[in-house]
Each structure stands twice: as C-alpha cells, then as structure tokens.
C-alpha cells in the first residue's frame, strides 16, 4: 500500500506541531507586516490547488486576527501557522495566537466580518483553547479527480477524525 502523500508548507523557523494536526509549523513575529509573509509562504504549497485563493484569503484573515485581536500583537508576541495540504482530499490551516481576551465584535458595518468570510468559504472551522492561547482552524475540501479521493498518480491522504468546533 502506498504511503499517503501530504504536502506541508516549508516555512521558516519550524515549531512543534499541534497535537491534532501533523504538519510543520512556522512562528512569525506578531506584527502586521508579517501577515504578507504568511500569504507569500503559502503560495508555493497551494500551487495547483483549485481553492488556493480562498485558502490564502482565510489564512491571511486568521493571521491578521492574531496580530490585531490577541496578545500576539503585543511587543514580543508571536503567532504560529500550520498548513496541511492533501491533494484530492483537503487543506487544513491553523493559526495559533498568544491568547488574551475574546471580545465580542463592535457593531461596525465596515469591519468585523473576517470569521463570517471563513464560515462561508471553509468546509468547517473552529476555535480550540490552548494553555498559552487559542488556535483557530479551517478545513477546505480539495475535490479529487476520481472517486477514490486521490488525484491521478497521487496516493490518498489518511482519513482524520473531524474536530469538533469549540468556542
């Protein structure tokens, strides 16, 4: 039986992987200019993915949220990005921040719609509390070219137990 193929983002500064996602991680300084770098780093991994634009948009939103709405944006703060790309099955992204208060959004018609966008574009998403912060994740379907769930010439990725959304 062939080994499952999972392409993972080769990001700078690898960190420990989340216990519920087998993918390398990269930690970025919690500054707005690093959100652009996250997008650039994701481009190569997602080449050929029919949902690349949607995934990168959502990843950018999650990274921006980490910088703007968590302790990651404080001096010395960081956020960690994980991407698992499984052609013919799914793409999963995670952004782990440094925590802080989870505030209800202010009623501003010009902003505060990022998680709504993720809810529309992703097949599933959720928030997981961690001891030192929280992780927001999203999963996107990558339709296969055949009924077995694998693109031609590409082994099928392993099945994963779906995460339960928590908040």
Task: Flag whether 67 is in a domain.
Answer: yes
CA distances (Å), origin 59, targets 1, 75, 133, 138? 33, 22, 18, 9
Number of domain units in the chain: 1
Task: Flag whether 33 is in a domain.
Answer: yes
Task: Flag whether 162 is in a domain.
Answer: no
Task: Flag whether 165 is in a domain.
Answer: no
Predicted confidence pLDDT, tens digits, the chain (167 residues): 333 333 334 443 333 333 333 467 899 999 999 999 999 999 887 878 889 999 999 999 999 999 999 999 999 999 999 999 888 889 999 999 999 876 666 666 566 678 889 999 999 999 998 888 999 999 999 877 653 444 343 333 444 333 333 33
Task: Flag whether 149 is in a domain.
Answer: no
Task: Flag whether 61 is in a domain.
Answer: yes
CATH code, domain with 120: 3.30.565.10
Task: Flag whether 166 is in a domain.
Answer: no
Q: What gap in Å lies between CA 83 and CA 88, rounded to an integer?
A: 15
Domain range for residue 14? 7-141
Q: Residue 139: phi, psi to the nearest 5? A: -120, 135
């Amino acid at each position: 039986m062939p080994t499952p193929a999972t392409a993972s983002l080769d990001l700078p500064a690898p960190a420990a992987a989340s216990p519920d996602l087998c993918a390398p991680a990269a930690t970025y300084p919690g500054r707005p200019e690093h959100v652009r770098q996250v997008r650039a780093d994701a481009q190569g991994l997602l080449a050929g993915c029919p949902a690349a634009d949607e995934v990168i948009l959502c990843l950018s939103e999650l990274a921006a949220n980490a910088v703007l709405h968590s302790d990651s944006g404080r001096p010395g703060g960081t956020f960690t990005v994980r991407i698992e790309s499984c052609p013919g099955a799914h793409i999963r992204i995670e952004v782990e921040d440094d925590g802080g208060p989870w505030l209800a959004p202010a009623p501003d018609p010009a902003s505060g719609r990022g998680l709504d966008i993720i809810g529309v574009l992703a097949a599933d998403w959720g928030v997981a509390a961690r001891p030192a912060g929280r992780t927001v994740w999203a999963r996107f379907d990558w339709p296969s070219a055949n009924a077995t769930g694998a693109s031609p010439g590409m082994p099928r990725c392993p099945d994963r137990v779906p995460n339960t959304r928590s908040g």
